[in-house]
Amino acid sequence: MSSKATFVYAASALALFAALPAPAQAASKYGCFKVTVPSLNLRARPYSSAEVVGVAHRGEILEKRKMFCTPRGFWCAIRKGSLEGYADKSNMVKIDCP
Protein backbone atom coordinates (compact mmCIF):
# COMPACT_ATOMS: atom_id res chain seq x y z
CA MET A 1 0.00 0.00 0.00
CA SER A 2 1.40 3.40 -0.92
CA SER A 3 1.95 6.08 1.68
CA LYS A 4 -0.75 8.21 0.00
CA ALA A 5 -3.28 5.37 0.31
CA THR A 6 -2.28 4.81 3.95
CA PHE A 7 -2.78 8.52 4.69
CA VAL A 8 -6.22 8.53 3.01
CA TYR A 9 -7.24 5.42 4.95
CA ALA A 10 -6.06 6.90 8.26
CA ALA A 11 -7.75 10.24 7.56
CA SER A 12 -11.00 8.46 6.71
CA ALA A 13 -10.89 6.43 9.92
CA LEU A 14 -10.19 9.54 11.96
CA ALA A 15 -13.07 11.43 10.34
CA LEU A 16 -15.43 8.53 11.04
CA PHE A 17 -14.33 8.38 14.69
CA ALA A 18 -14.72 12.16 15.10
CA ALA A 19 -18.28 11.98 13.74
CA LEU A 20 -19.40 9.56 16.46
CA PRO A 21 -21.39 11.13 19.29
CA ALA A 22 -19.52 11.59 22.54
CA PRO A 23 -20.57 9.12 25.23
CA ALA A 24 -22.78 10.54 27.96
CA GLN A 25 -20.85 11.27 31.12
CA ALA A 26 -21.44 8.45 33.52
CA ALA A 27 -22.76 9.27 36.97
CA SER A 28 -20.14 9.29 39.68
CA LYS A 29 -19.49 5.78 40.95
CA TYR A 30 -19.21 7.21 44.47
CA GLY A 31 -22.46 9.18 44.49
CA CYS A 32 -23.39 12.84 44.47
CA PHE A 33 -24.08 15.68 46.86
CA LYS A 34 -26.65 18.47 46.71
CA VAL A 35 -25.58 21.87 48.08
CA THR A 36 -27.81 23.01 50.97
CA VAL A 37 -26.40 26.51 51.65
CA PRO A 38 -26.73 29.70 49.56
CA SER A 39 -23.10 29.44 48.40
CA LEU A 40 -20.36 26.91 49.09
CA ASN A 41 -16.64 27.53 48.50
CA LEU A 42 -14.87 24.77 46.62
CA ARG A 43 -11.27 24.59 47.75
CA ALA A 44 -8.03 23.28 46.25
CA ARG A 45 -7.20 21.24 49.38
CA PRO A 46 -9.34 19.90 52.26
CA TYR A 47 -8.67 22.85 54.58
CA SER A 48 -10.72 25.94 55.40
CA SER A 49 -7.64 28.08 54.70
CA ALA A 50 -6.97 26.52 51.25
CA GLU A 51 -7.38 28.52 48.04
CA VAL A 52 -10.96 28.85 46.79
CA VAL A 53 -11.10 27.42 43.25
CA GLY A 54 -14.83 27.81 42.66
CA VAL A 55 -18.26 28.27 44.19
CA ALA A 56 -21.37 26.08 44.16
CA HIS A 57 -24.85 27.39 44.93
CA ARG A 58 -27.88 25.95 46.73
CA GLY A 59 -29.42 23.07 44.79
CA GLU A 60 -26.40 22.37 42.58
CA ILE A 61 -25.28 18.76 42.26
CA LEU A 62 -21.64 17.89 42.93
CA GLU A 63 -20.10 14.52 42.07
CA LYS A 64 -18.17 12.70 44.77
CA ARG A 65 -14.66 11.90 43.43
CA LYS A 66 -13.46 9.48 46.09
CA MET A 67 -15.09 6.66 48.03
CA PHE A 68 -14.36 8.21 51.43
CA CYS A 69 -14.24 11.76 52.68
CA THR A 70 -11.27 12.93 54.77
CA PRO A 71 -10.50 10.84 57.89
CA ARG A 72 -12.44 13.17 60.16
CA GLY A 73 -15.20 13.29 57.56
CA PHE A 74 -15.41 17.07 57.26
CA TRP A 75 -14.20 17.48 53.66
CA CYS A 76 -15.15 15.54 50.54
CA ALA A 77 -13.42 15.46 47.17
CA ILE A 78 -15.94 16.72 44.61
CA ARG A 79 -16.30 17.59 40.94
CA LYS A 80 -18.47 20.35 39.49
CA GLY A 81 -18.28 19.99 35.73
CA SER A 82 -14.57 20.07 34.94
CA LEU A 83 -13.67 21.74 38.25
CA GLU A 84 -12.27 19.47 40.95
CA GLY A 85 -11.80 20.41 44.58
CA TYR A 86 -12.98 19.83 48.14
CA ALA A 87 -16.15 20.94 49.88
CA ASP A 88 -17.27 21.00 53.50
CA LYS A 89 -19.56 18.01 53.98
CA SER A 90 -21.76 19.81 56.52
CA ASN A 91 -23.07 22.05 53.72
CA MET A 92 -24.26 19.21 51.47
CA VAL A 93 -26.54 16.17 51.56
CA LYS A 94 -25.75 12.88 49.85
CA ILE A 95 -28.14 12.02 47.00
CA ASP A 96 -28.38 9.56 44.13
CA CYS A 97 -26.74 10.96 41.03
CA PRO A 98 -29.17 12.16 38.37
CATH number (domain holding residue 70): 2.30.30.40
**Structural domain harbouring 72:** 32-95
Does 88 fall in a domain? yes
How many secondary structure helices (H) and strands (E) does the chain include? 1, 7
- pTM exceeds cut of 0.75: no
Total number of domains in the chain = 1
In this prediction, residue 73 carries a pLDDT of 77
16 within domain boundaries? no
52 located within any domain? yes
The per-residue pLDDT string of the chain (98 residues; one tens digit each, 9 = 90 and over) reads 555 544 444 444 444 444 444 333 445 689 999 999 999 999 999 999 999 999 999 999 999 999 888 888 799 999 999 999 999 999 999 999 98
Residue 49 in any domain: the answer is yes
Q: Would 85 be classed as within a structural domain?
A: yes
Identify whether the C-beta of residue 92 lies closer than 8 Å to the C-beta of residue 34. Answer: yes
What is the pLDDT, as a whole number, of residue 8? 44
